[in-house]
Structure 1
Amino acid sequence: MRILLVDDDEQLMEALASKLVDQRYAVDIATTGEMSWEFMLLFDFDLVVLDWMLPDIDGVELCQQIRAEGYTMPIMLLTARDRHNDKVLALDSGADDYVVKPFDFDELTARIRALLRREISISSPILEWGNLKLDPKTHEVHHKQQLLPLTPKEYGMIELFMRHPQQVFSPGAVINNLWAGEDPPGEEAVRTHIKGLRQKLKAVGLAKDTIKTVYGVGYRLKTNDDNSTAETSQLNTQPPKRNADINQIWLQFKDLAFERLASLEKLGIALAENKVTAELQAQAKSSAHKLAGSLGCFGFPEGSKIAKQFELFMDHNPLKPEDLEQVTKLTTSLRADLQHQPFEKIKDVLSNNISLLIIDRSHDPNLDQQLITEANNHGMKTHIATDLTQAQRILERESIDALLHKIVFPDGEDLKFLEQLHQHQPNVPIVAIAESPQLLDRLNFVRRGGNLILQHPVEPLIAVKAISELIDNLGKANKVLIKVLIIDDDPQLLLSLSMSLEPWGFEITTLNKSTQFWEVLESTEPDILVLDIEMPDLNGIELCQILRSDRYWQHLPVLFLSVHQDNQTKNQAFNIGADDYICKPVTGSVLANRILNRLKRMRIH
């Protein structure tokens, strides 16, 4: 399906186009109203997305002109204007939807899909043609439950034919629909893709001429005599894949954003020198408008607000020397905000909102109140429990980010509670306040998943700061997702390991066929490899030797997990390049800690 984006903010539109192309839409971008008309005369669009403030025409006026010419495709107004009257005016002018900048990319693309579904005269987004089913939401095509491995262009072709089953498409029409925004290829490229698509349709049991050639004209699906088209109301609720990383998109357009900021700062300099011109002021207002509409989309919501304030401030024409202070204040604040990483301030707010459970079975009300006060001063939400039953109820009802436990060693009941908590929520840091803990006490504590012991008595401020630092350090350690590849010929063991390791925040890939090792290795690019020794075809020792012989992969950490406990096997593993060796059976927490420790040592060296 083909979408036209009309907005003079090329930075924002290219980012949006990238998201839409990833979802297999054909996208064209026009930066003026005149350019949009040229596109509309050339191509048939399924949706138009319009900005309100275009250089040569008002977006609402353009919307009215489109409707006056008889075009019926959905139109979405995408603008920074958020007043109620503006929304009413736009919808009354023929727009089908109204979205205020800055927007969330995934929400916007979902709205676009919703508008496109309204235009399809079927009761659901899933298309059917005989036993062939196409789901535009997941961009998947199945024949009798078998997924077709289609390229983006092949998918676009079959979608085009299934949406218009009675229509013949010339090679030129196929190119217009599928190669938007790209240099159009020759008709030979269409024939090549048609050939590939036919082969894949035949491979799943369909006739090779499912896509018929109408000689001298083009291509279409077979007639109703051979197949019939039908629709289904079944919905697929899986969300679209997030193929585009907003942080990466921001890196592409960061320089342009700072150029626009420089335009605002240039106005401040001119104001200080009493050299403000109408042209300079108009340029600064345009830059502020574009920054207000785009920065929030790239993870700078505060930047969007500041730019919007600047834009509104510019409405007071002309600027006077006494406005210099406000202009300087806004530009300084905006530059400071853009020095952060996208979404950084949002993450800071979320990280400060820590939910802390305090367990004090000794019933020390003074200490408890001081801990609650200090925690609240640090932005933490606190829960207090005076026994383990009460603590368990809180854990069942609330989402806890950290635990502070005043414990008296030795106490088997407390340690058992901590062990059970760690097994169910391994990412929750556990801090203990203990009086004169002995070496064995400390060992039992860390074996149960404890992270930090504070000597009693302890200042409440020190205890709260220690919790904050611990959470911050654990957050930094887990910020980069650790990818683990596990190879074992026992599917049940692989399932068990996946379930026990995933709560630790690992990205787990499992493989039970060692012959597929290299293909999976290169596609997943793991941070660490876990190998069984005894496997059919290729054993773990041989896989490790293959790995160590490759210049690129020879430094990948390898951890052996085997039932063999004899020294000869262990020595053989270490001699050919193993980094660690664990004997089965093993618990998830032990394996997770061995993986983390191995990676820590790798970073140190």
Structure 2
Amino acid sequence: MRFLVVENDEAQAHQIKKALVEQGYVVDVVIDGEQGWAYVEAFTYDLLLIDSSLPELDGIDLCRRIRQQAYTVPILLLTVQDSSTDQVACLEAGVDDRLVKPFTKAELFARIRALLRSPRKANTPLLKWQDLRLDPVSREVTYEQEPLSLSPKEYSLLELFLRNPKRVLTQSTILEHLWSFETQPNEDTVRAHIKRLRRKLKKVNAEKMIDTVYGVGYRLKPLAENPSQPQSALAKQTDSNPPQKDLSIDSAFEGTSVSAKVDLADSWERFKTLILNRINTLEQTITSAQTPTLTPQLCQDAELQAHKLAGSLGMFGFKSGYRLAQQIEQWFINAREHPDIPTEIETVKTLIAQLHQELQQPLDWLEEKTPSHLHENLISTLQSATNSPTQYRILVVDDDLELSEQLQRAAINWNIQLDVTSKLEKARLILQENSPPDLVLLDLVFPNHREGGFILLQELKDQFPELPVLVWTVRDDITGRAAVARLGGNAFLSKSVPCDQVLETIKDILQSTPTASTQILAVDDDPITLNHLLQLLPSYGLEVTPLADARLFWETLEKTTPDLVILDLEMPHFNGVELCKTVRTDPSWNALPILFLSARKDPKTVQNIYQAGADDYISKPFAEAELITRIFNRLDRIHLLRSLAETDPITGLVNRRRSTHDLNRYLHLSQRHCQPFSLALIALDRFQSINNQYGYGVGENVMRQFGQVLLHQFRDEDIIAHWGGEEFLVGLYASHKADGYKRIAQLLELIERTVFPVADHVQIQMTASAGIATYPEDGTDLSSLYTASNAALYQAKAAGGNCCSTMSGFSQSELG
């Protein structure tokens, strides 16, 4: 199930999202009411968790707008207000339930279960497929009344299929439903989860439940009997853990595990600066007041800051701080609502001073794991991640053991594990195991069976159609290549190529699975053609926007941002060739795939279509199989080209071109929402000496492993890019200077302790230097921030390396 959390307090949003994700839910988070409304309009959610006090659009007003537009999604309002007036406002706005901050995880989950159990929610009944049962409320899965143990993601995948029993789900559709908006992985992750789910279903004799629609996606196998029978029936469930009315901060931490406390302490270190800044803002508001009477706007702004403080401090276990923040909030409410009554500013100054003092007190859960211990654990975890088992498992079927050994030694640097067998029968046994490989590297020629490789390739095509196969053989002729292509081989390499090229091809196959994009813009003045496309394409997971009036083409194009356009040739006002040329003259759209449908087949017409910039042409009337194949071929090709254009081939990180786009997007968000942004430029120290001593191949291996360390160290939402040479760039949204400095300092310490295995019996230890710049102090655009971080990097290098530097510096108080 997919939830939306609308919460302006980043600390609280982080904790809520973390708790929900641990329960297997997919969670999107936005920070203001207008963003929340945009997400509600754009995506389908099973539950909304909305804070009552939001900027741009208030939480109550957001709920009211959602109900006015007839959205029936359940809403859980999060608030620090517990008055009868507040309750009435919530009910009138259409809120289904409200939760007073701070709250325990147990109460949050109980409220969620109660809402999802509500009879008005149409998607909570028991889901069925033959003898398989899935209960969305208890999250239990059974087959023939026997429980089926699934991971959270496997459960969500199975639930998605059961909720869409007649739909073909493309990889992109699965990604959209099972991963949050900002943390979507690539498509090979979908294939891996499909494989694992099928493996679990096979154990209970339900392995044929999920069909593969080749070139399109996956679907639930249609039931042989009673196809019109409903797929679900209402399930009677009781909640064994009802919500509690009374809540204290003490109970919020009761029974918290040690690991959860460690995570909480880590979160406190992340958001401590943000919380202190909010207190400073309150202090400045009072200090800047020239008269005992504050303006209503100042009071309202301060009231919001205090409101967010109360929720944050409660979740982090500051009992007295939570109550102090509530008193401060109430003081500003009284000052705003009763400006005619004199206010005693010294009262609120005393409360703020007490709040400062409260945050200096150690907490029980924080003392159990001090920041130094947290740091040591972080180093240990990331060190083990660097030396962890390889990411991909490859089955090598080859009788050339000497060459296989060379490949195994080279694979150390590529995060690839090779299982080698020289026997075809042994390979068949391995393929039948519970954990099949991610890819098969296959020779074609064997001493006792010259055609054995072709026979095994045919068996793989029939029994494991989703398993990628790379053929690596001495039989390098057109006959062999054509046979491999006919049998479904993903790639063909001659054994004359070096081992690194084989491993690079393996990574490309596993990481560059094309996406079946979903947005199609169909432009045709013939309503019959449009209707046919509307009936046909959605069954393959393609969403169609029909357009009969060519005069609206450009505004529809910009509004829908399609992944492919289907054009008719002859239309009133503007014909298809004119529209195609218009698209090709715009740099933002000139790579958009365009497919023509036309009843005209003469060579001149076809030539004009391709000269205008069309990618493909199909004559009317068209066959379903031909149209679908042409569409997905074009979508696959454009996705592959984009992937190649945006990914650094050495490190696998995003390149400068893609990261520049992402960094500018984050800077725009920072400017819009007044959020800080830190940019770190990181360079390996004395990297050229490694190239000189060991060669450029070893240097690339070091950079590749360094890129993996960066991916483990930073958050999914952080931007991590290879900027060029030995330079890497990290963008940290909503990170102040001190926060960014601490995180980069942790990284540099980790690098110093890391041993990089780069070749056979060769290990290297390195250091790195970094320069940090922060928006808006050091620059307001990417160019100025990069210049500042580059200058800071030179300072760090000049100081001897293995350190980080900032241009503007910081005080000890900023470091906390």
Q: Normalized against structure 2, the TM-score is what? A: 0.38
Q: Which structure: larger Rg?
A: 1
Q: Normalized against structure 1, the TM-score is what? A: 0.50
